[in-house]
Structures are given as C-alpha cells and as structure tokens.
Chain A
Amino acid sequence: AQKITQTQPGMFVQEKEAVTLDCTYDTSDPSYGLFWYKQPSSGEMIFLIYQGSYDQQNATEGRYSLNFQKARKSANLVISASQLGDSAMYFCAMNERDAGNMLTFGGGTRLMVKP
C-alpha cells in the first residue's frame, strides 16, 4: 500500500489565485511528521512546511499553509496568491517514528501557474 498518495499529477492555477495540492497518507504510528517540498526544474528539493502528528494547529509559512485533517489522514498544501515562480513539482512526504523517521515521498504534483 502506498504510504503517501498525491492524486493530482498536474494542476493549473491563475497567477494571484490560491491553489490546493492534495496529499493523503497511511500510517498506524501515532508519532509521525508530514512535509512538503518544492522541486523546480533545476532539480533541488526545497523544504516548504512541516506538520507534526501531535500539532494542534495547522502549520503556516508565509504563503504556504498545511490543511491537516488527522482523522481523514490528509495533509493538503495551500498556496495563496500564486506567483509564476511557484511553477514546479511539489512532493508530500512523511516520516514515522517506528520506521526510523525515514522520509517517504509521494509521486508529486506538477503545478503550473498561468500569467
């Protein structure tokens, strides 16, 4: 079974609008972390935001926020006020304490921002 599922292979968004990238996860470990990374065409992975399983509030970092719904096991990334530079691949990832805290990545979503 997939640990991390990103069901949107590609998404378009109009510049300055908000967009939600979906991520669902599967774990029975009560202690885990959820991460989002951005990968531009240049290839480097850029850390965006983190949510811990025990965090009561949704994480926010500037224009990025994580919509954490624990019961539904979803951790969607919301990007507000999209910019052309947001065009990239976005990966959701999870680590689990009982699995040695190794990161497992989803298949990614390609976001394209239209001017």
Chain B
Amino acid sequence: EAEVAQSPRYKITEKSQAVAFWCDPISGHATLYWYRQILGQGPELLVQFQDESVVDDSQLPKDRFSAERLKGVDSTLKIQPAELGDSAMYLCASSPHPVASVYNEQFFGPGTRLTVL
C-alpha cells in the first residue's frame, strides 16, 4: 500500500542550528501539506502546495521557516535558526484531491519529531 514517507523520524538539535525535514508524498498526489503538532494539541497547518506552487503559507513563520516543492513531487521544510519553541512533531500529508475540493481526505506520513535543546 502506498504511503507518505518522511525523514528523519527523529531529530535532536541545538537552538540556533538549521534543520531540514523531507517528505515524499504518495505517487500522483498533487496536493501536499506540512503541519506542526505540539505535544497534546491537534496539528496546525503550516503550508499547502498544489503541485510546485504554494497555495497558502499564511501560518508559516517566514522569518525562520521555509518550504519548497521544486518539481511538484517531494518537499523540504527547513528551519533556520531553530528555537526551543519549535520542538514538535512535523507531519506531512498528501491528497489526490485538488485544493478546490471540499472532499479533501489527506494521507499522513509518520512525522518527524523535533527536539530543540
């Protein structure tokens, strides 16, 4: 069964360092999402891609976060510099449905758990 792949699964870094997370969506899924999930809370959307274009990044802290999906397939989320408050699970999801579809079942990867010391 096709799955969303994410790496690394765990990342420990010191504050002010740069970190990067990678996501490979299910083949053929044009829509890709990055979420941040703080422990004990629900996921919060950071950025949404349709193919290689950013559809919405209004919740992305752009002074330190960046996201790209250059060829419209896999995607990278970067944090530079990392801060203590960035410790969270970073989840990637993909959907076969376009952004315009209300039926928007999203398939999630296993996530990257980031700890900033």
Q: Which residues of A contact B (CB under 8 A)?
A: 4, 31-33, 35, 37, 42-47, 50, 52-53, 91, 93, 95, 97, 100-108
Chain B: interface residue count, which band?
Answer: 20 to 34
Q: What residue in chain A is nearest B110 (Cβ atoms)?
A: A44
Q: Which residues of B contact A (CB under 8 A)?
A: 33, 40-45, 48, 55-56, 89, 91, 93, 99-111, 113
Q: Is there contact, CB below 8 Å, between A45 and B108? A: yes
- Cα separation A37 to B108 with both chains bound (whole Å): 10
Q: Known contacts being A43-B89, A47-B107, is A102 close to B102, with CB within 8 Å?
A: no
User: Which chain B residue has the least Cβ–Cβ distance from A29?
Assistant: B102
Most buried by B among A50, A97, A100: A100
Inter-chain contacts of B103 with A (CB < 8 A): 33, 50, 52
List 15 A–B pairs whose Cβ atoms lie within 8 Å, in order of A's numbering: A33-B102, A33-B103, A37-B108, A43-B110, A44-B111, A46-B108, A91-B42, A95-B102, A97-B100, A101-B99, A102-B45, A103-B43, A105-B44, A106-B42, A108-B41
Q: Please determine whether B101 and A101 come into contact, CB atoms closer than 8 angstroms.
A: yes
Q: Say whether A103 contacts B101, CB under 8 Å.
A: no
Choose one: B43, B44, B102, B108; the contact of A52 (CB below 8 Å).
B102
Question: CA–CA, A27 to B99, complex, Å?
Answer: 19
Q: With A and B bound together, what is the CA distance between A105 and B42 in angstroms?
A: 6
Chain A residues, CB < 8 A from B107? 47
When chains A and B are docked, how far (Å) is the Cα of A10 from the Cα of B22? Answer: 33
Is there contact, CB below 8 Å, between A33 and B104?
yes
Assess whether A101 is in contact with B104, with CB atoms less than 8 Å apart: yes
Q: How far, in whole Å, are A45 and B45 apart by their CA atoms in the complex? A: 14
Contact check, A97 vs B102: say whether CB atoms are below 8 A apart: yes
Closest 5 CB pairs of A and B: A105-B42, A45-B108, A43-B111, A33-B102, A44-B110
B40: which A residues are within 8 A, CB to CB? 108
Q: How far is the CA of A75 from the CA of B30 in the complex (A)?
A: 29
